[in-house]
Amino acid sequence: MAASTQSQQDGIGILWDQMPITLLQQYRSANLLRTPSASTPYSAAVLSAGIGKKSASYRDRQPQDSLLSAVRRHFNNQAINEHDVIVNFLYTVKNSGTFPCPRGFERCY
């Protein structure tokens, strides 16, 4: 039971530790998360020496693990209304005409 609870908390099927840092930063900016951007190990090493500590980009950075936990928390706290998702999906399929049809079908409805 504890394993299923843990997988529900982490998000089923999402390998958070394997997400590239650029994707996490795009999620942060798209959802307007109030957390600083993450730094790569290389940029952290460059900015941590000498004058780099006084730069604005050094002060507004955090480790990738902190950004990862903020994105995961935000993603898991999003409420999903199944009815709205189904209605929006059906509307998109009906009106876009770009939905890929399964093989053997000439036209998708």
What does the pLDDT look like over 49-104, one tens digit per residue?
Answer: 666 666 665 556 677 888 888 999 999 898 888 898 899 888 888 877 665 666 66
pLDDT at 1: 43
Greater model confidence, 42 or 20: 20
Taking only the tens place, the pLDDT of each residue in 22-40 is 888 898 888 888 887 776 6
Summarize the chain as % helix, strand, coil (round to 5).
Answer: 60, 5, 35
Q: Tens digits of per-residue pLDDT, 43-53?
A: 656 666 666 66
pLDDT the model gives residue 17: 85
